[in-house]
């Protein structure tokens, strides 16, 4: 074998080793990325489950309160005490849901917004300044983390 062929053979061997090292590095990076992706998906799923568990845990306390109310002795309980207990449970439920990201849409006195409100009826008004204003809220709406769950149902003033 002459000198040029020997040099070409050595260069080919060097290039082959470099190729094998780069290929091995590439395969390792692909495997690491795949492991990272799977780990991230598992963590995200676990995060969602933990958030749901926290919400359900808060609601369980309220469920316990309902059970206590249903086991009250009717001879001992007054209507006033039962109503007060129900009000307290309602407040507790609101706190739990607000803590989870629920927002109330209560547009009393605001301008009608079709993105978060549903007009149930029109109410005539003599004042042009009141045109398009919410006259009455029949049912509050709710937004959860930027997503409309239920529009507020309202009546809207219309200047005629």
pLDDT tens-digit readout, 1-41: 577 778 778 888 898 999 999 999 999 989 998 988 998 88
pLDDT tens-digit readout, 53-92: 888 888 999 999 989 888 888 888 889 988 998 999 999 9
Question: Is pTM beyond 0.75 here?
Answer: no
Selection from 110, 100, 96 nearest residue 140 by Cα: 110
Spatial separation of the C-alpha atoms in residues 31 and 33, rounded to whole Å: 5
Buried residues in 25-38 as b, exposed as e (16+ CB within 10 A)? eeeeeeeeeeeeee
Number of H helices and E strands in the chain, helices first, is 2, 6
Query: Is the Cβ–Cβ distance between 152 and 109 less than 8 Å?
Result: no
């Amino acid at each position: 074998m002459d000198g040029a062929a020997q040099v070409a053979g050595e260069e080919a061997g060097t290039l082959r080793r470099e190729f094998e090292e780069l290929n091995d590095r590439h395969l390792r990076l692909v495997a690491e990325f795949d492991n990272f992706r799977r780990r991230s998906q598992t963590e995200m799923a676990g995060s969602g489950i933990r958030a749901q568990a926290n919400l359900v845990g808060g609601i369980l306390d309220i469920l316990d309160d309902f059970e206590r109310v249903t086991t009250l002795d009717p001879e001992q309980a007054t209507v006033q005490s039962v109503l007060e207990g129900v009000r307290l449970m309602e407040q507790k439920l609101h706190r739990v849901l607000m803590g989870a990201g629920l927002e109330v849409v209560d547009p009393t006195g605001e301008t009608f917004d079709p993105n978060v409100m549903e007009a149930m009826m029109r109410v005539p008004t003599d004042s042009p300044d009141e045109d398009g204003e919410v006259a009455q809220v029949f049912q509050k709406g709710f937004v959860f983390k930027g997503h409309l769950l239920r529009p507020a149902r309202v009546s809207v003033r219309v200047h005629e």
